[in-house]
C-alpha cells in the first residue's frame, strides 16, 4: 500500500483568552471531550491558564499537568480527538482523547523498551508486525535491527500518522525505511487475515483499553497473535498500570497463560509523562513463543 504523507492544517482555532472575573488571570480552555468518550463525563482533559491537565477515569483521583507554550494542532479524526502542543519542559506533546501518548523528551524510554527487549530475545528476527504505533517511534527502533527484512504496521487512524510526520519528524522517521509497509485499518481484522506463522515478532503499541484500542486487550486478539507468530516468535504489548489497573493486568495474564501457556516475569523503566511515572514489562515464556507485556505505570 502506498504511503500518504504531507502536512495537515495546523491553524486550528481555539477559544480566545478570557479574563478570570475573580483574579484577572488570562485562561484559555480547550476541552478534550469527544464523541468517543461522551459517555464518560470525567474523561476530559483541558488546557486551563496555560497548563494541560490529563484527567481520565482510567486513573481516578489524580492528574498530570504540563505547562503549555502553544497549541500546534487540534483536530478530530473518525476515531478520536488529536492534539499537539509545545510544552515548556518536555518539547512537543501528542495527545489522543485527552491522554498523553508521547513527548519529545521521554518517548525514547517507551519506544526502546517495547521494541528492543522482544527483538533481542529471539535470534535474527526477520519479519515484524506493529499494531498501532502510528507515531512511527517503534518503526524507528525496529529499523535499527539489521536482520529485519520486512516491517508491517497497521494503524487505525491516518490522522495520527499524518500529524506525527508533520510535528514529530524525528520519531516518524521510521516511515522512511524502505522495509516498512503501512496499512491503515483495524489491527484486529488485519491479524485475522494474516496467514499462520507469518511473523517473528508482533509489537502492540496501543492506547488505553477504551475506544478504538479496546479489542487489543481481549483474549480473541491474543489468539490471533498466536496464530500469526511462527514457533519461537515473540509478542510485546502495552498493558496499563500495575498500580491502577490490576484487574486489566490479571485478565491479560490469565488470557496469555491460556493462549501461550507461559510463565511470568517482568522488567521496568521510567517514563515520566505516563501515569505513576514507571513502565513495567511482564515477560511470558512458553515452548512456542516468548511474550512480553509492557505496562504503563
Calpha distance 68→51 (Å, rounded) = 5
Say whether both 90 and 190 belong to one domain: no
Q: What is the pLDDT of residue 73?
A: 96
Residue 37 inside a domain? The answer is: no
Say whether both 262 and 124 belong to one domain: yes
Calpha distance 291→282 (Å, rounded) = 8
Residue 143 inside a domain? The answer is: yes
Q: For position 218, which CATH number holds?
A: 3.40.50.150
Of the candidates 126, 93, 157, the one whose C-alpha atom is nearest the C-alpha of residue 234 is 126
Determine phi and psi for 16, rounding to 5 degrees.
-70, 145
Of the candidates 18, 99, 87, 107, the one whose C-alpha atom is nearest the C-alpha of residue 57 is 99
Identify the domain boundary among 101, 122, 146: 101
Length of the chain: 297
Q: Would you state the cell numbers that stand for residue 54, as one nine-digit string?
A: 490529563
Q: What is the pLDDT of residue 15?
A: 29
Residue 29 inside a domain? The answer is: no
Identify the domain boundary among 66, 101, 136: 101
Q: What is the pLDDT of residue 277?
A: 36
Calpha distance 100→21 (Å, rounded) = 30
Say whether both 51 and 180 belong to one domain: no
Say whether both 97 and 133 belong to one domain: no
Say whether both 183 and 141 belong to one domain: yes
Say whether both 114 and 252 belong to one domain: yes
The one-character DSSP state at 89 is S
Q: What is the pLDDT of residue 149?
A: 98
Say whether both 89 and 218 belong to one domain: no
Q: Low-confidence residues of the chain, pLDDT below 70?
A: 1-45, 56-60, 207-217, 239-249, 261-270, 272-297
Residue 62 inside a domain? The answer is: yes
Say whether both 96 and 110 belong to one domain: no
Q: Would you state the cell numbers that stand for residue 101, as one nine-digit string?
A: 501518548
Q: What is the pLDDT of residue 254?
A: 74
Say whether both 176 and 195 belong to one domain: yes
Q: For position 48, which CATH number holds?
A: 2.30.140.10
Residue 165 inside a domain? The answer is: yes
pTM, to two decimals: 0.75
* Strand-strand pairing, 229-238 and 199-205: parallel
* Strand-strand pairing, 180-184 and 150-155: parallel
Q: In which residue are the cell numbers 488571570 written?
A: 25
Calpha distance 82→12 (Å, rounded) = 11
Say whether both 79 and 216 belong to one domain: no
Q: In which residue are the cell numbers 490469565 written?
A: 254
Identify the domain boundary among 60, 84, 101: 101
Looking at the structure of the chain, the number of domains it has is 2
Q: Would you state the cell numbers that stand for residue 152, as one nine-digit string?
A: 508491517
Cβ atoms of 83 and 101 closer than 8 Å? no
Residue 116 inside a domain? The answer is: yes
Residue 264 inside a domain? The answer is: yes
Cβ atoms of 233 and 268 closer than 8 Å? no
Q: What is the pLDDT of residue 85?
A: 95
Calpha distance 164→141 (Å, rounded) = 16
Determine phi and psi for 258, rounding to 5 degrees.
-75, -40
Domain holding 249, by residue range, is 106-286
Determine phi and psi for 55, rounding to 5 degrees.
-120, 125
Residue 68 inside a domain? The answer is: yes
Residues that are catalytic: 205
Say whether both 74 and 159 belong to one domain: no
Q: What is the pLDDT of residue 290?
A: 53
80: three-class secondary structure by DSSP: coil
Calpha distance 154→24 (Å, rounded) = 48
Say whether both 97 and 128 belong to one domain: no
For residue 203, the cross-strand partners are 130, 236
Amino acid at each position: 500500500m502506498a504511503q500518504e504523507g504531507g502536512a495537515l492544517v495546523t491553524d486550528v482555532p481555539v477559544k480566545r483568552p478570557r479574563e478570570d472575573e475573580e483574579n484577572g488571570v488570562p485562561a484559555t480552555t480547550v476541552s478534550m471531550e469527544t464523541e468517543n468518550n461522551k459517555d464518560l463525563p470525567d474523561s476530559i482533559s483541558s488546557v486551563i491558564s496555560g497548563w494541560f491537565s490529563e484527567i481520565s477515569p482510567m486513573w481516578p483521583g489524580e492528574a498530570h499537568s504540563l505547562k503549555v507554550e502553544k497549541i500546534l494542532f487540534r483536530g478530530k479524526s473518525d476515531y478520536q480527538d488529536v492534539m499537539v502542543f509545545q510544552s515548556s519542559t518536555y518539547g512537543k506533546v501528542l495527545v489522543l482523547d485527552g491522554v498523553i501518548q508521547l513527548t519529545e523528551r521521554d518517548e525514547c524510554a517507551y519506544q526502546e523498551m517495547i521494541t528492543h527487549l522482544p527483538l533481542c530475545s529471539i535470534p535474527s528476527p526477520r519479519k515484524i508486525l506493529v499494531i498501532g504505533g502510528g507515531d512511527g517511534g517503534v518503526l524507528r527502533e525496529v529499523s535499527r535491527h539489521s536482520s529485519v527484512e520486512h516491517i508491517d504496521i497497521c494503524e487505525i487512524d491516518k490522522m495520527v500518522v499524518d500529524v506525527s510526520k508533520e510535528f514529530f519528524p524525528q520519531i516518524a522517521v521510521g516511515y522512511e525505511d524502505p522495509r516498512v509497509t503501512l496499512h491503515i485499518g483495524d489491527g484486529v481484522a488485519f491479524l485475522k487475515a494474516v496467514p499462520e506463522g507469518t511473523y517473528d515478532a508482533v509489537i502492540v503499541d496501543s492506547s488505553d483499553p477504551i475506544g478504538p484500542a479496546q479489542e487489543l486487550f481481549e483474549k480473541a486478539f491474543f489468539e490471533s497473535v498466536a496464530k500469526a507468530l511462527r514457533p519461537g516468535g515473540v509478542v510485546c504489548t502495552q498493558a496499563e498500570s500495575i498500580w491502577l489497573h490490576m484487574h486489566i493486568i490479571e485478565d491479560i495474564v490469565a488470557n496469555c497463560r491460556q493462549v501461550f501457556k507461559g510463565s511470568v516475569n517482568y522488567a521496568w523503566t521510567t517514563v515520566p509523562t505516563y501515569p505513576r511515572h514507571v513502565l513495567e514489562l511482564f515477560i511470558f515464556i512458553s515452548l512456542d513463543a516468548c511474550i512480553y507485556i509492557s505496562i504503563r505505570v
